[in-house]
Structure 1
């Protein structure tokens, strides 16, 4: 059964959120199509990034915990990861925003976002010899700049708040993937490719990588939701 551990991680990540999607007071099921459009749009570049890094040996997967099916060199479980994790995160964002009425970015938020951009770019430059660190912090900094100052997305503060709330389940899920509580890690990293700073067994880059992925999922989810309503 351990060969299905990564499948189990994906399943238990999504199942509760999926069931509650049909709750009459939530009805997130009405937004499955916009989510799928957003999820697939974001998954494509992240899967290509994933496949490239896997081919380069920057990270690799432990067959002990995999069913054995691969596409582009990636386990099928890894493909599912890019739908299951964003689904749960977008659902949580939708739920909290719906019932708590989270505040949009205020004018002062631009200073915090600008600082975050500079910090990401500075880390990317300082650690430019580490491929995972470089690409993660560089693209996250550029994503924040693009979303805030070009695409005028005013939900970055809300996404950041929700992501902070999700850090505990993130630590559990990503902890299992990186070896917390199991004999061997499901996902292994080349120590020369990242800073070496870990939260338990989780490289700090993973948290930033996840934040960037969720930012784009939420942004595109609401863009596709607007079109869905207009054509509904």
Structure 2
């Protein structure tokens, strides 16, 4: 019974502390639950479609011994929850660090981040175009960073990247369990023909890059909608005065 709840518990423990802390009067992140739900759904839709596609192709698959058995579109229900639980913890962390600390110093590295990301992703896509996980991850990450920098003109790439580095600690804990750390067999299994098979402990390096692009897009849509919400409140407040 406990084994079949493993993936469910991974999601639960990834989000529970952040969820409780959201109601702290100094944080009050609960006010943005609706905004988070909308922004995370915008990001989740293409990433879930990607997940369904790769699962159907056999790029990766799930050990249902560690899930409750409810499957939707080929994915365990826990995998669907993953696209909300993990972004919630990440966005909550970003929100708190941005609220209580001045991270603007990291934005001096914006151009460096874009340059390095572009070079690495282009080289990876060209050299490993035959490995679909590596290839698609490189293209998605490249597209996300170029869009955020040159089209959306976001000036927080440095501080968001710094927060992601901090988040790598819980990332290894969560993804480590999913990829086999501390359990008999992995929850998520990968076809070695479709990725570099370079792992950080048990975590494929592509997972970290995948997580980076997902995180940056979640930050983008959350901050975008949060600003629009704040602007509307200010306008409404000014009209009622």
TM range (shorter): over 0.9
Quote the residue 2:58 is aligned against.
Answer: 57
2 CA distance for matches of 1:140 and 1:4?
32
1:73 aligns with 2:40: no
Cα deviation for residue 228 of structure 1 reads: 1.6
Cα deviation for residue 2 of structure 1 reads: 0.5
Distance of aligned partners of 1:108 and 1:171 in 2 relative to their CA distance in 1, 3 Å threshold: closer
1 CA distance for matches of 2:47 and 2:107?
30
Count of residues in Structure 1 that have an aligned counterpart in Structure 2: 232
Quote the residue 1:148 is aligned against.
Answer: 149
Quote the residue 1:204 is aligned against.
Answer: 205
For 2:189, what is the secondary structure of its paired residue? strand
Quote the residue 1:6 is aligned against.
Answer: 7
Task: Map 1:1-232 to 2 at 5 A.
Answer: 1-103=2-104, 106=107, 109-232=110-233
Cα deviation for residue 109 of structure 1 reads: 2.6
For 1:129, what is the secondary structure of its paired residue? coil
2:110–2:155 contact (8 Å) kept in structure 1: no
- Deviation string for 1:33-77 (max 9, x for gaps)? 111111000000000000000000000000110101111110000
1:143–1:212 contact (8 Å) kept in structure 2: yes
2 CA distance for matches of 1:24 and 1:83?
23
Distance of aligned partners of 1:158 and 1:221 in 2 relative to their CA distance in 1, 3 Å threshold: same
Structure 2 gap ranges (5+)? 234-241
TM-score (norm. length: structure 1): 0.97
2 CA distance for matches of 1:231 and 1:108?
32
For 1:79, what is the secondary structure of its paired residue? helix
1:105–1:154 contact (8 Å) kept in structure 2: no
1:104–1:155 contact (8 Å) kept in structure 2: no
Cα deviation for residue 112 of structure 1 reads: 3.2
2 CA distance for matches of 1:214 and 1:43?
11
Greater Rg over alpha carbons, structure: 2
2:5–2:68 contact (8 Å) kept in structure 1: yes
**Runs of 4+ deviating beyond 6 Å:** none
2 CA distance for matches of 1:161 and 1:208?
14
2:107–2:156 contact (8 Å) kept in structure 1: no
CA RMSD of aligned residues (A): 1.1
Structure 1 gap ranges (5+)? none
